[in-house]
A and B are shown apart, each in its own frame.
Chain A
Amino acid sequence: MDNIRIHNGIVEIVLSGKVYADKAIDLRERLFPYLGAGYNRFWFDMTAMDYIDSSGIGFLLAIHKRADKLGGEVVITGLQGDMYKLFELTQLTHLFKLT
């Protein structure tokens, strides 16, 4: 189970293992309510994530667009190795704020 917590008004999510389509749906269902509750800053820690497919990326873009509309942002930390390369190949390193 991926860890979600609120810290200083930021929704922090730790992703680990493989993010397949079913997990992306689960994340959408669990995180979108935070947007409805007024949260617009999301921090994803992907240090321990070793797989994400287009559905997971689609989810990240969806939450990025909505957070951006609300004046917030999505920050991604811990991308490395093949996961960073995937974001590079799909030109997402320019879109997301990476730390």
Chain B
Amino acid sequence: MEEIELRFSDMNMYAYFRNSVGELLKDWFPKGHTLIEIAVNEALNNAFLHGNRESAKPLVVMKVSKVDEHNLVIRVKDLGQGFSLRRSRDKRARVKADKIMSESGRGLLIMEQVFDDIYYNEVGNEVTMVKRIGGQGAK
């Protein structure tokens, strides 16, 4: 397994490393890396925008793990209190809801459509996203 962990104190800091994360995903998974990169960035955007509102010292931790050539696991954690939507398990309802015309809130939709499985911790401030690529059960 290959794994990296990155810690960011603000969005600008992440923007500095954003291309490197994209290049890493491209190196690991040459096919389909773009959609994964977009979905990962959506998770980071959510963490910075919603997760650190109450924190004087914001911190977002991202762990990217290439389990094997077909399985990628990405965890994004912030210091926030979580929010109710993160705890919702009703994926289909959100995809079919009136989000289609909504100008915002589409990041979660992208994450859910790109990744095969998404889990939230009990608090709602850590998301674990699993992507199966090219193997059995892949989207």
Taking beta carbons and an 8 Å cutoff, which residues of A are in contact with B?
A: 20-21, 50-55, 57-59, 61-62, 65, 81-83, 85-86, 89-92, 95
Contact = CB atoms under 8 A, between A and B. Distances in A.
B71 interface: no
Contact of B113 (A21, A50, A81, A89): A89
B32 A89 contact: no
Interface string B8-42: 00000001001000000000000010110110011
A61 B35 contact: no
Interface string B30-69: 0010110110011001000000000000000000000000
Contact of B42 (A50, A54, A89): A54
B103 A58 contact: yes
Nearest to B15: A20
Contacts of A95: 100-101
B102 interface: yes
A54 B34 contact: no
Interface string B94-117: 010000111111110110011000
A62 B106 contact: no
B110 A51 contact: no
- Interface size class of chain B, counting residues whose CB lies under 8 Å from the partner chain: 20 to 34
Contacts of A52: 38
Given A82-B34, A86-B38, A54 B101 contact: no
B32 A65 contact: no
B34 A57 contact: no
Contacts of A54: 42, 45, 104-107, 109-110
B106 A58 contact: yes
Contact of B45 (A53, A65, A92): A53
Contacts of B105: 54
Contacts of A21: 45
A21 B35 CA distance: 16
15 contacts: A21-B45, A50-B34, A51-B34, A53-B107, A54-B45, A55-B45, A57-B106, A58-B103, A58-B106, A82-B32, A86-B38, A89-B35, A89-B110, A90-B109, A91-B95
